[in-house]
Chain A
Amino acid sequence: MPEVFLTGVVSRFLRDQGIADINPLLILDEIVQLSGLMRRTPDRSYQFMHAAIQDFLAAKYTVETGSFFPSTVNVWDARAGYAACLSGDATQSMIYSLRHGIDNIAFHDCLVNGAGFDSAQVATEVLRVLRRAPVRVVLSSTQRKDLKAIEV
């Protein structure tokens, strides 16, 4: 993100909070030096330190602005997964994501993050997907001693 864009965002935030006498660049300096959320590049752009933070915030923005529509998502990546989790009911997201493969990141994130979803609907869809497309299933013990694979 270019610095001019971020200073604009910070200025707007400060204005909304009724704080007008602080240089937004100082706030950016503090974020970079103290929070560990972002870093400044030599060309004075800003990057999130971890893609996960960026994905989470992007997903949060998408959900809060009402612009997350599972049926229009093309890539079921971590960002889509976070959005599904934050949307309250991840059922449709999980069902749509299964169209892009059973092992997609978003579906996994919904399971791991304890997203709310209709178990029966999603389970039925998992079964349907397994039947429709050949999937390689890897079964392993907890110690991963005897790895077995089943072709479905």
Chain B
Amino acid sequence: MSHDFFTSARPHFITALLAAALYERSRDTAVDVIVGYCLWELQKRDLRLDKQTAKEIRVTYGSLDFSFHVHKRSGMVTVLPTQLLDSSSE
């Protein structure tokens, strides 16, 4: 499975993969890989996900190297690398 798999995927499919992984409500390597890849791809492309999904990720993956920036107007969330964390990030 190469990074091309995710770089080729449309945003809708990436969020569907993320949803499928989070729906499992448990962590294993496959789930971790999908969540990690999806977040990385979302961040790279500056795509947004919904607030509830971001909350679920935060609860399940406390030590993640990503943080979330909540857009107040749309309520959507952008994934940020930790070093870009600022005061507006949730």
The residue from A108, A111, A114, A130 contacting B33, defined by CB atoms under 8 A apart: A130
Interface assignment of A150: CB less than 8 Å from any CB of chain B: yes
List of B residues within 8 angstroms of A28 by Cβ: none
Q: Are the CB atoms of B8 and A131 closer together than 8 Å?
A: no
List of A residues within 8 angstroms of B13 by Cβ: 111, 119, 122-123
List of B residues within 8 angstroms of A108 by Cβ: 4-5, 8
- A151 and B20 CA atoms in complex are apart in Å by 20
Category for how many chain B residues contact A: 20 to 34
Q: Are the CB atoms of A126 and B34 closer together than 8 Å?
A: yes
- A112 and B19 CA atoms in complex are apart in Å by 21
Q: Are the CB atoms of B20 and A111 closer together than 8 Å?
A: no
Q: Are the CB atoms of B1 and A103 closer together than 8 Å?
A: yes
A131 CB, min distance to chain B CBs, angstroms: 4
Interface assignment of A135: CB less than 8 Å from any CB of chain B: yes
Q: Are the CB atoms of A127 and B3 closer together than 8 Å?
A: no
From known contacts A114-B10, A122-B13, A126-B20, infer whether A103 and B5 are also in contact, taking CB-CB under 8 Å.
yes
List of A residues within 8 angstroms of B44 by Cβ: 142
From known contacts A127-B24, A142-B44, A152-B33, infer whether A119 and B1 are also in contact, taking CB-CB under 8 Å.
no
A150 CB, min distance to chain B CBs, angstroms: 6
The 10 A-B pairs at the shortest CB distance, nearest first, are namely: A119-B16, A130-B30, A123-B20, A123-B16, A111-B8, A123-B17, A131-B30, A135-B1, A137-B1, A124-B20
Given pairs A108-B4, A120-B20, 7 additional interface contacts (CB within 8 A): A102-B1, A103-B5, A114-B10, A119-B16, A126-B17, A137-B1, A138-B1
